[in-house]
Structure 1
């Protein structure tokens, strides 16, 4: 509810989110690229 959000936002959330921000992992998208490799076994009936 709106009341619950306002109570949270004006309570401990202020202190929890008021600190200095950590540095990002990277600033270039190329540094965050990765590949996903799947090894999926076939069911015995199709082997």
Structure 2
């Protein structure tokens, strides 16, 4: 039963790989922009 639940979780996570990866990349870009702005503000 544990193996079945794991496999179902894997298939669920595999279903939308492209949209999830795009969302993660977009979030990372937003975080990088915030860090960059904070670094520039600290430098000034």
If the TM-score is normalised by the length of the shorter chain, which range does it land in?
A: 0.3 to 0.5
TM-score, normalization by structure 1: 0.33
Which one scores higher on RCO, CA 8 angstroms, separation ≥ 6? 1
Instruction: Please identify the structure whose Cα radius of gyration is greater.
Output: 1
TM-score, normalization by structure 2: 0.34
* Greater share of helix: 2
